[in-house]
């Protein structure tokens, strides 16, 4: 058991990151939480806090939301979430933690060093991205990478990207949290941690949203992904 204030600080930072960029809260919170909590508690805790973040951001970005972009992602996420939740319940915590660390390092390095050209992707890729994000999100509470890559490759402006990500993560968070609750992953202990951390994550999200657009976006992403590489390595070797 650790200081509840530490949970709050972790989610304050996580909320700020996602409020600023539209994604990344779990990629920040999971490595830090895994130093104190079992990964099978950290994942549902992050998903509950994601409800707070994505609800706020979706309401804030709603005028930029395009249902035609969002619906295919959400439909494909449903079977992915079911598979990912089953994986979380059956697979050992060590395997999940190391896999999560590898995922974070790989995606962060990709984001730091690649500059993919925008293109018009076939609609089928939205279903691939949605399914993959649903499965990874339910298992690791960090299903962003496939959908983030998909949205950035389409050449949408930053408001369209952030609105689509926020709407998709909102759908994902509510569905995944429900599956976690039904499957018994969301325990009373996890819920008590959530009640402590929710005000912190909301505050962080609000501050991050205020900063959104005021500071060079590319610079922030570079700093975030450099930090995440270090966090991913820490998860792998801890």
Please compute Rg for the chain using Cα positions.
16
Assess contact for 140 and 43: CB atoms under 8 A: yes
Confidence band, pLDDT 50/70/90 cuts, at residue 35 = confident
Assess contact for 204 and 19: CB atoms under 8 A: yes
Tens of pLDDT along 184-222? 889 999 999 999 999 999 999 999 999 887 877 677 667
Prediction pTM value = 0.77
Query: What is the structure's pLDDT at 238?
Result: 64
Assess contact for 127 and 76: CB atoms under 8 A: yes
Query: What is the structure's pLDDT at 117?
Result: 65
Residue from 238, 223, 180, 206 nearest 28 by CA: 223
Query: What is the structure's pLDDT at 118?
Result: 62
Query: What is the structure's pLDDT at 217?
Result: 66
Burial per residue of 58-85, b for 16 or more beta-carbon CB atoms within 10 angstroms, e otherwise: bebbeebbeeebbebbbebbeebbbebb
Query: What is the structure's pLDDT at 153?
Result: 78
How is the chain split into domains, by residue range? Answer: 4-237
Query: What is the structure's pLDDT at 93?
Result: 67
Find the helix or strand (DSSP H, E) in which 191 lies.
helix 188-211
């Amino acid at each position: 058991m650790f200081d509840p204030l530490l949970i709050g600080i972790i989610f304050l930072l996580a909320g700020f990151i996602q409020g600023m960029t539209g994604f990344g809260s779990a990629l920040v919170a999971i490595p830090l939480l895994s130093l104190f909590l079992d990964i099978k508690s950290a994942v549902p805790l992050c998903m509950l806090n994601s409800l707070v973040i994505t609800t706020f951001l979706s309401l804030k970005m709603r005028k930029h939301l395009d249902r035609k972009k969002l619906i295919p992602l959400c439909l494909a996420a449903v079977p992915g979430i079911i598979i990912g939740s089953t994986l979380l319940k059956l697979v050992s915590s060590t395997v999940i933690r190391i896999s999560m660390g590898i995922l974070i390092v790989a995606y962060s390095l990709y984001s730091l060093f690649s500059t993919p050209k925008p293109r018009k992707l076939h609609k089928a890729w939205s279903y691939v991205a949605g399914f993959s994000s649903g499965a990874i999100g339910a298992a690791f509470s960090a299903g962003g990478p496939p959908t983030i890559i998909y949205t950035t490759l389409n050449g949408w402006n930053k408001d369209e990207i952030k609105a689509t990500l926020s709407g998709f993560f909102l759908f994902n968070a509510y569905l995944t949290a429900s599956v976690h609750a039904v499957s018994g992953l969301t325990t009373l202990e996890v819920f008590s941690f959530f009640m402590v951390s929710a005000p912190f994550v909301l505050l962080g999200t609000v501050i991050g949203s205020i900063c959104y657009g005021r500071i060079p976006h590319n610079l922030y992403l570079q700093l975030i992904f450099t930090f995440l590489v270090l966090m991913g390595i820490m998860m792998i070797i801890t």
